[in-house]
Amino acid sequence: MNVWPILSALRRNPMGAILIVLQIALTVAIVCNALFIVQQQTRLISRPSGVDEASLFSFYNLWGSNTTDYKSRVQVDLSALRALPDVEDAIATTGLPLRGGGYHYPVAISPVQTKDNPEASVYLTDQHGLNALGLQLAAGRWFHSDEIHDMDSDHDNPESAPMAVLTDALAQRLFPQGNALGKAIYLGKSPATVVGIVKRMQAARISTSSQTAEYAVLVPFLWEAPASLYVVRAKPGRRDAAIQAAQLALSQISRSRSIANVQGFDETRSEAYRPYRATAIILACVGLLLISVTGLGIVGLTSYWVSQRKRQIGIRRALGARRIDILHYFHTENLLVVGCGAIIGVILANLANTMIVEHFEMDRLPQIYIVAGAVIVLGLGQLSVLWPAWRAARISPAVATQAN
């Protein structure tokens, strides 16, 4: 099909075409940036935490009166929890993946700290930790009961741990040759021997970088303090029953405590990722609305063109153009205009992304998203022009003979 008549028609009345080009360009720029952010947030939200998410729940335990003997209290609590029929295992600690809390240390492989040491979450755990969290041991071993030291708020110093278990991600980062077992890591001045490696466990704070998300160290301490986080793993399928039973059992042991923020792990996860999910949903909605508004805009403007050019179309028909020719005409015209918009949109999308990367510390948009955005609008354009073009094709050649 010859495009010259189309171009000359566009040149005679360029405003409508300019508007469509502008609209398409902006739509491409916005939609592919939005799509990319949605995809990034979705990937972030769906990362596994490494713990047994289906059976885990956790809550804060706060002792009311000024007692000093927290050690025996915590031990009584833990053995009571572990004895419950619905409970698989339990630990007392300070932090949990996605729930926050705990310690954060730069981890080094020599006593000399440098600035680029990776920062990791440090979790306290006793010999039950592996089972209570539902972690998978990838290499080495877990802590034995005689290796667990006491830690309370006055002796609050996980740096002194003589041994540690690392996540696979952190082990690979610290020892790229892959032989972390038996090596020493440094949270402070003293070395801790790596005795085991777990396959996966996320840091307590959400990290937007997938690289550092699983930097975690487990150290053998029993946390004995006025406030602690109890993490309980229920028997498969018995979580809700275990939540009830655990609270009842603890309040029977002592009433001078308060139990706060009981959360199943699913709740912990959804609370932690709420802002990310919200961003994704809002952007997806904006993107969808945008595509529909642009589509409707094309329908509107093309219909308007058709009604304006009714007479010319009639004349063409009278001169022998078939319906399919008229259809072709409008589809080609749309392809040209939308294609123009898409090209400008690709440039705009890159500009917008450069700005977003510079000012908002976000990742660079891969070109595939821009191509996808351009293809989407080209398809959208063809789809939107279907109905107006069909109406144009229905114009009778007799129109040519009518006076205005």
How far are the Cα atoms of 239, 242, 246 from residue 251, in angstroms, in the given order?
18, 14, 9
- CB 95 to other proteins: min, Å: 12
Q: Which two tokens stand for residue 86?
A: 């619905």
3-state helix, strand, coil in the chain (%, to 5): 55, 20, 30
Position 60 contacts other proteins (CB under 8 A): yes
H-helix segments, 4-114:
4-12, 14-45, 70-83
Position 225 contacts other proteins (CB under 8 A): yes
CA distance 85 to 144: 24
Residue from the set 258, 312, 367, 401 that interacts with other proteins by CB under 8 A: 258
Task: Give yes or no for a contact between 165 and 140, defined as CB atoms under 8 angstroms apart.
Answer: yes
Position 335 contacts other proteins (CB under 8 A): no
Position 293 contacts other proteins (CB under 8 A): yes
How far are the Cα atoms of 26, 212, 297, 310 from residue 357, in angstroms, in the given order?
18, 20, 31, 48
Position 361 contacts other proteins (CB under 8 A): yes
Q: Which residues, including other chains, have CB under 8 Å from residue 69's CB and lie 6 or more apart? A: none
Residue from the set 14, 76, 111, 156 that interacts with other proteins by CB under 8 A: 156
Least Cα distance to 302 among 390, 395, 375, 400 occurs for: 390
Binding mask 295-314 vs other proteins (x if CB under 8 A, - otherwise)? -xx--xx--x---x------
**Burial (CB count within 10 angstroms: exposed 0-12, middle 13-18, buried 19+), residue 19:** middle
Nearer to other proteins, 216 or 225 (CB): 225
Position 362 contacts other proteins (CB under 8 A): yes
Position 347 contacts other proteins (CB under 8 A): no
Residues 5-44 that bind other proteins (CB under 8 A): 15-16, 19-20, 22-23, 26-27, 29-30, 33-34, 37, 41
For other proteins, the binding residues (CB under 8 A) are 15-16, 19-20, 22-23, 26-27, 29-30, 33-34, 37, 41, 60, 62-66, 106, 113, 115, 153-157, 159-160, 188-189, 225-227, 251, 255-258, 260, 271, 274-279, 281-283, 286, 289-290, 293-294, 296-297, 300-301, 304, 308, 352, 356, 359-362, 404
